[in-house]
Amino acid sequence: MKQLSLIASGIMLSLSLTAQNDWQLKKDQDGIKVYTKSTENSHYDELKVEMTLTATLSSLAALILDIDNYHNWSFNTEKAYVLKRVGPGDLYFYELIHSPWPASNRDLPIHLQISQDAGTKSMSVRSICVPDLVPPKKDVVRVPLSIEQYMVTQLKLDPGAGAPAWLINLFSVKGPFETFSHLRQEIQQPAYRDALLPFIKN
C-alpha cells in the first residue's frame, strides 16, 4: 500500500469564482482538514479537504467507480446508480442527495471520468453535472452546476469538495468531513483494497 496525494477543487452553484481570498481552516480532526473560501458573486463557499490515505490508486478508482455503493460513504447520498457506461473509467450516473428540512432533496446527473498520466502515474478524477441528461423529478431540486476535480499522486491525500457544495454553507464543513472519513473506512474493504484496474497503474 502507498500513501496518495489528491488535490481537488469543487465548484457548485457558482458561475463566477474569481475571489482571491485565502483558504480558511474550518475543521481539523482525525487527520482530516476542511477548508473553505468565499467566492465573488456567490453565496456558496468553495471547499478543500486534506487527508492522508493509505491505499493504491486502483483502490481509490474502484471505490469512486462503484456508484451503487455511494450511499455508504458519500455524505447524505440516498441513492446513486449508473445511467450509461462509456469506457472503463468513463460513465454517467444519477445521484439523489438528502437535504435537511425544510430544504427539498437535491439530485444531479453526473459525467464521471477517471484517467491517468502514463509518465507520472498521477490520476485525474473529474465529475461534472449534466443537468439536462435526465428529466427532473417531482419534489426534487435539480442541481444546475457542480464541478469536482481531483488530481491524485502517490504520497498523501488532499481531496476537496468530496460532498456537493450546493448544500447550505452550514453543512459545507460537515459534509466533506463525513464523506472522507467514511471513504477512509470504506476503501479498506477487500473489494477496493485488493482492486486491480487495467487502465490504472499503481
Tell me if 164 is assigned to some domain. yes
Tally the domains of the chain.
1
Mean pLDDT of the chain: 76
CATH code at position 77:
3.30.530.20
**Which is more confident, 63 or 56?**
63
- Helices (DSSP H) in the chain: which residue ranges? 57-65, 174-186, 190-193
Tell me if 188 is assigned to some domain. yes
Least confident residue range of 16-30, 31-45, 166-180: 166-180
**pTM, rounded to two decimals:** 0.75
Tell me if 202 is assigned to some domain. no
Output the nine-digit C-alpha cell for 83.
445511467
Output the nine-digit C-alpha cell for 109.
446527473
Tell me if 74 is assigned to some domain. yes
Tell me if 198 is assigned to some domain. no
Name the one residue in this structure whose C-alpha cell is 435526465. Answer: 134
Closest CA to 144 of 175, 118, 165: 165
Per-residue pLDDT tens for 93-143?
999 999 887 788 889 999 999 999 888 888 888 899 999 999 999 999 898
**Which is more confident, 82 or 154?**
82
Tell me if 201 is assigned to some domain. no
C-alpha 79/C-alpha 70 separation (Å) is 7
Tell me if 185 is assigned to some domain. yes
* pLDDT on residue 134: 95
What range defines the domain where residue 172 resides?
A: 2-193
Output the nine-digit C-alpha cell for 176.
466533506
C-alpha 18/C-alpha 9 separation (Å) is 14
Tell me if 200 is assigned to some domain. no
